[in-house]
Every structure is written in structure tokens, then in C-alpha cells.
Amino acid sequence: MIGCGTVGSGVLDLLQRREEDLTRLLGRPIRVVRIVVRNPSKPRHHLASLISSGVEISGEPRRVTRDPGVELVVELAGGRDEPKTWILDAIEHGRDVVTANKATLAFHGAELFAQARAKRRCIYYEASVAAAIPIIEMLSNGLVANQMTSLSAILNGTCNYILTRMEFANLDYSAALAEAQAKGFAEADPTLDVSGGDSAHKLALLAGIVTRSHIPVESIYTEGLERITREDMEFVRQFNYSIKMLAIAKRNDQGSWELRVHPTLIPRSEILAQVRDEFNAVYMKGDAVGPMLIYGKGAGGLPTASSVVADIVRAAKGERGTPNAHMGVTPALVPIERIELRNYIRMTVLDVPGVLGRITSFFGMRHISISSIHQPEARVNQPVPVVLLTHKTSEHVVAEALRDLETARLLTRAPTRIRIEE
């Protein structure tokens, strides 16, 4: 095992708890023989019994990737580029690999899967997306008979936790993030969570499975939730919406895919609006099965470890996966500018005569149709929020209108725009 933090400790815990059952199931025990950690001299009381039973703790990944006594390498260290070299080294030395590392696979998956294929090795990665939810298994096997046509997913537990706490406990963004970190949901660098990067890594992997190709993570439009405030929460509540960080993949009739990650307003009655705290969910559609929903814990030590152990068991059973899974041609992707959506736009203006008229004229000039406009009671010459909801409008038109508004210096600070999905 490389890495022994929150998830690694969960894996050791589960292997111990389920030892008897798994040994019976497989006809042989699963034994951890070596663990690589960044700082091997740090006291680790939870590993005491493993150390006394002969498990080696070292700081050298090659002790795991190259040791002839190791059959399977479990990479749980996190990071992006360094794990790639360990995974390649393990494959080169004839080992299969289990990893929970979505960043490494999203950025280097094409090379890693090709290398595994060339060496007839397997990379198992169930835990890399949506932690406890076996979504990789479902899309790779259970739903393989379908042309999947859309996925709308909550794929980051930290973002969902933050938004839930802002919505229901009235916390501000930083307090909610601090709670998510304290609960062990966030990445070591939480910027990856809140910037939407982590969701984009996961969407790249899911879209790669359904399109049987490598989806470059850079091709996914990604926007974070850092700008969402309690004020937005209050407005959207009045309009009967919730804000969710959604990862969206949609196939059009020509076979091109829309891939995007951004905060999204969805009606409170929608099923995804009921997904709270660190839970993840994937609402998907396939041409044979129609709509389908899967829901479960998307972050945390044991929920993630559950999927890691499932992969260890798959590897021990010799399940080989699908060799050509990622070898197809990447489909055409629809650029974000070509997408049409409804929008929530919150602006802050000075309460002076004519300001509303001037603002709305910026939208009117570009034929952006406003479906409603809201402004709380204001005090003369004081900043006041104005919120517009638009009808469906092309992305590039909204972006141009917002740019013009900023240039015209009508706003006292940058506007917040959140896309709406019905």
C-alpha cells in the first residue's frame, strides 16, 4: 500500500474487520505486506499490530512497486504526477494496481491505461469516483448494453457539504469549508474541491467510460463555488431553487458531448436537490434503461475504503476488466459558448434613479429575455442587490452582456452568475 492517510487507514480497518468473510470468499487471505508513507519515522499507533506482525513501513515506493513478494499495489497517496510514476513502475514490474486517485487518472489515464493494456495488467479505480458508490462498475459492466445519453451528478462531497451547511445552517462559505475539512472530506489541498477541479477529474473518468475513450480533463468547462454567498442562498430559497455543484455530461443527437462542472440552480423539488452533506448522487439516462439514480457517501475514510477493498477483492479473484475500455476515439465536444441555459444573475448596484433601467437595457440590447427581476427594499445611494433570472440564452451572449455591464461601471462589484438546470 502506498499512502496511509484517511482512506488507507480505512482500508486496513476494513481488511481486519472483514478478514474472515473475505478469506472464506477468496479461499486465501488478503495480506498487507508493505506500507509506504511520506514520513516513516512519524509514530503511527494504529499500525502497531501490523508492524509487530512483520509489515514493513518505509518511505520508498519501490519497496512496494518492485518487491517480488507483492502481488497487488494499492495507491492511496493522492497527488497527481508522482503517483503516475509509481503506477507505471508497478505495471512495468508485473503488478496490478488499485487506486483511488482521480487526479492522476484524469491527467495521465491515457498513458497509464495504454501501458497496463500493453503489459496485460489491470488498473482498478472504483474508489476514485463517488467514494462508496460503485458507479465505475455500473457504467463499465451493469449498463454496458446502453448508449448512455446523460449524467447529472454530484461528485464532490466537500462541495455538497459546504452548500448544504450554507443552505440549512446559514453558515458562510469559509465556516462550512472548515467543517468539511475537519470531517476528513476535503482533499489535502481543498482548492481542488471548491474550484470544481476534483469533480471535473471524476467527470472525465465517467465520461471516458461511457464514450469508451480518453476525455482530456482540460476539455471540461469547470467553475468553482467560491463566489457563492449566503445572500445567494437566501435569494434562491425564495425562488424555490437549491444550489448544487453539478458535473454534467449530455450527448446530443449528433453524438457530440457537453461536459461541464459548475454551481447550478435546480428546483428544490428535484431529486438531486435532496442530496445533502457529503453524499454524492448520479442521475443518468441510458437508451435501454431510461432514467436511473444512484446515491451514497461520496467522501470519507470508510466509504472510500469500501470501494478500495472491493477492487482488492476483484483483483484477488482475477477479474480483468475490459482491455479496450479507453481506447476509442474521443467524441466531438460541444464548446460551452454554444450551450443555451437559463441564468441567475446577481448584481450589486447603487440605489440611484434609472439604474435598473440601464441594467435591463444591457440585457435587452442583446435580446436576453428576463423571466423575473428582484430587488429588496433599498436605501438611497446605498449598494443594493438586484437579481435577474433569464430565459434560455446562449452562453456567449450572457458572457458578453456581463462583460459590457462591468465595463460600463454600473455595478459596485463583480456580478455572480449561476446557471439554471430544470
Interface ranges with ligand HSE (CB under 6 A): 131, 156-158, 185-187, 193, 198, 298-299
Distance between CA 1 and CA 256 in Å, rounded? 39
Angle CA 288–263–147, to nearest 5:
15
**Minimum distance between the CB of residue 6 and ligand HSE, rounded to whole angstroms?**
9
Burial of 82 (0-12, 13-18, 19+ CB in 10 A): middle
Question: Which residue number, 96 or 198, has a Cβ lying nearer to ligand HSE?
Answer: 198
Q: Are 359 and 410 in contact (CB under 8 A)?
A: yes
**Minimum distance between the CB of residue 178 and ligand HSE, rounded to whole angstroms?**
14
Q: What is the DSSP string of 388-400?
A: EEE-SEEHHHHHH
Question: Which residue number, 235 or 279, has a Cβ lying nearer to ligand HSE?
Answer: 279
Distance between CA 368 and CA 142 in Å, rounded? 43
Question: Which residue number, 156 or 195, has a Cβ lying nearer to ligand HSE?
Answer: 156
**Minimum distance between the CB of residue 25 and ligand HSE, rounded to whole angstroms?**
27
Exposed e or buried b for every residue in 295-321, given b needs 16+ CB within 10 A? bbbbbbbbbbbbbbbbbbbbbbeeeeb
The single residue of 102, 202, 244, 297 carrying the catalytic annotation is 202
**Minimum distance between the CB of residue 228 and ligand HSE, rounded to whole angstroms?**
16
Q: Are 245 and 163 in contact (CB under 8 A)?
A: yes
Residues found in the chain:
422
Question: Which residue number, 131 or 315, has a Cβ lying nearer to ligand HSE?
Answer: 131
**Minimum distance between the CB of residue 329 and ligand HSE, rounded to whole angstroms?**
28
Active site residue 202: yes
Contacts 24+ apart (CB under 8 A), 318-325: 319/122, 320/122, 321/122, 321/123, 321/124, 321/140, 322/140, 323/117, 324/117, 324/212, 325/113, 325/140, 325/209, 325/212
Question: Which residue number, 133 or 368, has a Cβ lying nearer to ligand HSE?
Answer: 133
Q: Are 80 and 104 in contact (CB under 8 A)?
A: yes
Active-site positions read 202
